[in-house]
Structure 1
């Protein structure tokens, strides 16, 4: 049960990054989604969502690898 909860928590930032990519792609093709009033704002929201999702997931991977001593010397504390 704990592994399923951990998987769901790990998928949240990945889904967030996927939504960010979709928003940026829709902006390139000129598709405006209803809650966002303009295309440039939609692109910024998508870029922020993508960056935050990748940052959180990458931090999780780095933290896990630091605990298992699988990182290079420059990433160790």
Structure 2
């Protein structure tokens, strides 16, 4: 039962950023659509771009996608699925005491 609850919490930790990213995308889409739709309205003297909704959507989208992308990256790094340049750096091995170091 404990494993089921921990897996449910892990799924929720991925669903919430995914929903935030989707909502952010919708906010950006709606802000752009409303701006371009106002060009066809002859009663408006100048179209108004809702910058705050667009920026909020952009931030939500970046945070959500960044969280999910980071989670996938670190999971793949743990399972050694990434290319060598993305693998964790290991400290250099200290020299052994009894080894010859290229001298006499």
Report the TM-score when normalising by structure 1: 0.84
The answer to which structure has the higher helix fraction is 1
Which of 1 and 2 has higher RCO (CA within 8 Å, sep 6+)? 1
RMSD: 1.5
Q: How does 1:1-77 map to 2 (within 5 A)?
A: 1-30=5-34, 39-77=50-88
Gaps of 5+ in 2: 36-48, 89-104
**Between Structure 1 and Structure 2, how many residues are aligned?**
71
Gaps of 5+ in 1: 32-37
Which whole-Å deviations, capped at 9, do the CAs of 1:18-73 have from their partners, x for residues lacking one? 01101001101218xxxxxx711110110111011111110001111111111111
Q: Which has the larger radius of gyration?
A: 2
Give distance in 2, aligned partners of 1:29 and 1:58: 28
SS state of the match for residue 70, structure 1?
coil
Q: Runs of 4+ in structure 1 displaced over 3 angstroms?
A: none
